[in-house]
Structure 1
Amino acid sequence: MKHLLAPPFPRALGFSMPSEWAPHAATWTSWPFDDELWVGHLDGVRAEFADLVKTIARFEPVHLLVRDEEAEADARSRLGTANVTYHRVALDDVWFRDNGPLFVVRGAPEGDQVSFVNFEFNSWGRKFEWENDTKAPETVAAFLGAAHWDSSVVMEGGSLELNGAGVALTTRQCLLSEERNPHLGEEDLEALLRDFLGIEKLLWLDAGLEGDHTDGHIDTITRFVNERTIVTVIEEDQDDPNFATMRANLERLKTFTDARGRPFDIVELPLPRTYMELEGKRLPPTYANFYVGNGFVVVPIYGDPNDDRALEILRGVFADREVIGLMSRELITGGGSFHCVTQQQPVGAVWKGDDLD
């Protein structure tokens, strides 16, 4: 298994990161643990998590990381083994979108070969523990036998949203955070993401939701649903702090163009009406944190008046997939939802790096 630290980087070898709706070989995720970490909500989180994993497993294989014997026993009691493979891994938390690998493919249309980039993870700017989580991609590499690239740059999957045609969205609030890569500016990051993920055009919004401890991850606010269509959240209450930020994002999105200079179609998605907080701090519930898989889209809902409206909008833009709403009132207490805890492995043969010998 090769660890690549120097050029040639993925783009030079024909690799790039595909869209989320490209065919998956599997979904990777991690099982929740530690009731103290979840501030007394662990059992409810696990119940919601079980619904999520069982739903995904109806459509594609699931690889589930479990921290210890207790976590594995609990997961097996709720899930069984149908289409789920268990991996015992030391973990600090469950947000595998951010501490997991970012897969890249080469070959069309579905990826003849698959590899990944192992970026550094520092728990969104050293906010929590991360020493175990940043090592988790090596478990994936060992299981797959994959040659892959290791980078010392801090980069989280939730900070990037790709259309699979050379364009990605992000926020300055996140990528330019002083606690991530203080030595890198916009041009540096654009060059790095071009080399490692094949992103030819990086589009910058300014900020994300209030209460988002990831510092404005794009996957809680603005998502591609196909190559030319973007769904973005709006806050309808003018007195809410999110109102101005989301309106500014909307106006900015209207000025963006794709890799061929064409404007995008923009679809507005409401935020939940219910104000949610934990220990006096606002939580960032959002319908934009959906996860797209093989023939399905799973959407977080909250028992909120806007749940049905959001699902109707997303069914309209994902007409070729089954759009499934699942409760996320407990999971959101950790600050994220379904997209934050999942990472897709694209279809393709695992690259062993033999062409570098």
Structure 2
Amino acid sequence: MPDINTSLTPAELGFGFPAEWFPHRATWLTFPHNEASWQGERLAKMRPQYLAFIKAITQGENVGIIANDENLKTFVSKELDQTGVDLSKIEFVIKPTNDAWCRDHGPSFVVNEKTKEKAIVNWGHNAWGGKYPPYDDDNRTPQAIANYLNLPVFNPGIIMEGGAVEFNGAGSLLTSKSCLLNLNRNPHLNQAQIEEILCQYYGVQQILWVEGGIVGDDTDGHIDDTTRFINEDTVIACVEHDKNDENYKILQTNLQMLKGMRLVNGKQLNIIEIPMPKAVIIDDFRTPGSYANFLICNAGVITPVFNNQNDQIAIDILEKAFPEKKIIPLEATEIIWGQGSFHCLSQQEPLV
């Protein structure tokens, strides 16, 4: 284990959380097996879309798969091979898991770019305010990955989810009040205390707040469904053009807040608006379908699409926004039934 004094904070030691476009060594996933998120036949129906996601990531980096047991590892290996995935790009960690949302329960990797050291921040996980027990196995995931990679671990001692935070790689962190200030996360902490912990453990200098999240999002409003940094001073921001839609008001509120923000260097944000898909309703349930839930990886920008009339509009906007990246649209119509998409399912490990 590297000799790092983890009694100090990452910020005190010169560590920070890299922006998502920082080169990756791997992307980590927790392979879905529990029917709590995709009930009955839906787990099997979503699996081809999930395997296509893995295949796309492996075009540019390794994929670390956290598998519940050896039987699941064997099954997954066979499925990946049949999908045409290069198995040399796959790493497995065998450990019990509860759910699939690795963005929220997985390891948060911080990097010291001067010393080229990497470490893991082990935030607490309580399944989005205790909504989906049990979650104790998922809560042990960061430490298991740290053991596998032989990395030191920082333990902030509070609840935090990766989908709740966005980074520009230049000192700014963007989040939502409806999630991080919710009393079902850290009721003993006020906003100023939460901001201080975020700065210390993510190595950022400022916290920027929007108001809330979209309909169907059971996380209390994760930022990765509404607003995403794509470079140091640019965000993709979801908007709803239908004034009668439930998302219209909250996304307009967020947009106005974004327009008033200033970055560490004093600059305003460059805001690229992207439409919401027309309501993605499955079995009379409005899912949190959003084009903002993309994953920036080495191979490109893996973007969820929903067989929706706004899919191509969103793809065109992202292609202009990422001129040096390939946009990789993948069907997420079965995945989104579980109330999340590609970004929610993944957590990147930076290359140092």
- Write out per-residue CA displacement over residues 291-333 of structure 1, whole angstroms, 9 at most, x where no aligned residue: 0011411000000011111011011111111110000011111
User: Is 1:9 aligned to residue 24 of structure 2?
Assistant: no
Tell me the distance in 1 between the aligned counterparts of 2:261 and 2:26: 32
User: Is 1:154 aligned to residue 159 of structure 2?
Assistant: yes
1:79 Cα offset (Å):
1.0
Tell me the distance in 2 between the aligned counterparts of 1:4 and 1:126: 33
Tell me the distance in 2 between the aligned counterparts of 1:248 and 1:239: 15
Q: Which structure 2 residues correspond to residues 1-357 of structure 1 after superposition, within 5 A?
A: 1=1, 7-35=7-35, 37-40=37-40, 41-80=42-81, 81-108=87-114, 112-129=116-133, 130-278=135-283, 280-348=284-352
1:2 Cα offset (Å):
7.6
Q: How many residues align?
A: 345
3-state DSSP of counterpart to 1:321: coil
3-state DSSP of counterpart to 1:120: coil
3-state DSSP of counterpart to 1:137: helix
User: Could you tell me whether the CA contact under 8 Å between 1:289 and 1:299 is conserved in 2?
Assistant: yes
Tell me the distance in 1 between the aligned counterparts of 2:34 and 2:145: 23
Structure 1 pair 164–158 and aligned structure 2 pair: CA distance change class (3 A) = same
3-state DSSP of counterpart to 1:46: helix
Structure 1 pair 99–5 and aligned structure 2 pair: CA distance change class (3 A) = farther
- Write out per-residue CA displacement over residues 37-82 of structure 1, whole angstroms, 9 at most, x where no aligned residue: 4122111211110000011011101111111244223311221323
1:151 Cα offset (Å):
2.3
- Write out per-residue CA displacement over residues 195-219 of structure 1, whole angstroms, 9 at most, x where no aligned residue: 1111211000111001110000000
Tell me the distance in 1 between the aligned counterparts of 2:88 and 2:158: 37
User: Could you tell me whether the CA contact under 8 Å between 1:32 and 1:45 is conserved in 2?
Assistant: no
3-state DSSP of counterpart to 2:195: helix
User: Could you tell me whether the CA contact under 8 Å between 1:102 and 1:157 is conserved in 2?
Assistant: yes
- Write out per-residue CA displacement over residues 3-39 of structure 1, whole angstroms, 9 at most, x where no aligned residue: 9896411111100111000011111111111345412
Tell me the distance in 2 between the aligned counterparts of 1:71 and 1:301: 28
3-state DSSP of counterpart to 1:151: coil
User: Could you tell me whether the CA contact under 8 Å between 1:210 and 1:242 is conserved in 2?
Assistant: yes
User: Could you tell me whether the CA contact under 8 Å between 1:3 and 1:150 is conserved in 2?
Assistant: no
3-state DSSP of counterpart to 1:253: helix
User: Could you tell me whether the CA contact under 8 Å between 1:295 and 1:320 is conserved in 2?
Assistant: no
Read off the aligned partner of 1:102 and give its amino acid letter. Answer: S
User: Could you tell me whether the CA contact under 8 Å between 2:56 and 2:299 is conserved in 1?
Assistant: no
3-state DSSP of counterpart to 1:152: coil
1:91 Cα offset (Å):
0.3
1:274 Cα offset (Å):
3.4
Q: Normalising by structure 2, report the TM-score.
A: 0.94
3-state DSSP of counterpart to 2:217: coil
Partner of 2:84: none
Read off the aligned partner of 1:126 and give its amino acid letter. Answer: G
Tell me the distance in 2 between the aligned counterparts of 1:311 and 1:12: 40
Q: Normalising by structure 1, report the TM-score.
A: 0.93
Deviates more, 1:305-314 or 1:72-81: 72-81
User: Could you tell me whether the CA contact under 8 Å between 2:279 and 2:286 is conserved in 1?
Assistant: no
Structure 1 pair 334–3 and aligned structure 2 pair: CA distance change class (3 A) = farther
User: Could you tell me whether the CA contact under 8 Å between 1:300 and 1:338 is conserved in 2?
Assistant: yes
- Write out per-residue CA displacement over residues 255-274 of structure 1, whole angstroms, 9 at most, x where no aligned residue: 11111111011000111113
Unmatched 5+ stretches in structure 1: 349-357
- Write out per-residue CA displacement over residues 264-287 of structure 1, whole angstroms, 9 at most, x where no aligned residue: 110001111133144x54211000
Tell me the distance in 2 between the aligned counterparts of 1:74 and 1:333: 23
Q: What is the Cα-based RMSD across aligned positions, in Å?
A: 1.6
